[in-house]
A and B are shown apart, each in its own frame.
Chain A
Amino acid sequence: NAGVMQNPRHLVRRRGQEARLRCSPMKGHSHVYWYRQLPEEGLKFMVYLQKENIIDESGMPKERFSAEFPKEGPSILRIQQVVRGDSAAYFCASSAGLSLYGYTFGSGTRLTVV
Chain B
Amino acid sequence: GQQLNQSPQSMFIQEGEDVSMNCTSSSIFNTWLWYKQDPGEGPVLLIALYKAGELTSNGRLTAQFGITRKDSFLNISASIPSDVGIYFCAGQLADGGSQGNLIFGKGTKLSVKP
Contacts and interface: CB of A to CB of B under 8 A. Distances in A.
Interface of A: 4, 6, 31, 33, 35, 40-45, 48, 55-56, 58-59, 91, 93, 95, 98-101, 103-108, 110
B105 interface: yes
Interface of B: 4, 6, 31, 33, 35, 40-45, 48, 88, 90, 92, 97-107
B104 A48 contact: no
A55 B98 contact: yes
Contacts of B106: 40-42
Given A91-B43, A100-B33, A107-B41, A42 B99 contact: no
Contacts of A103: 33, 45, 100, 102
B21 to A, nearest CB: 13
B7 to A, nearest CB: 13
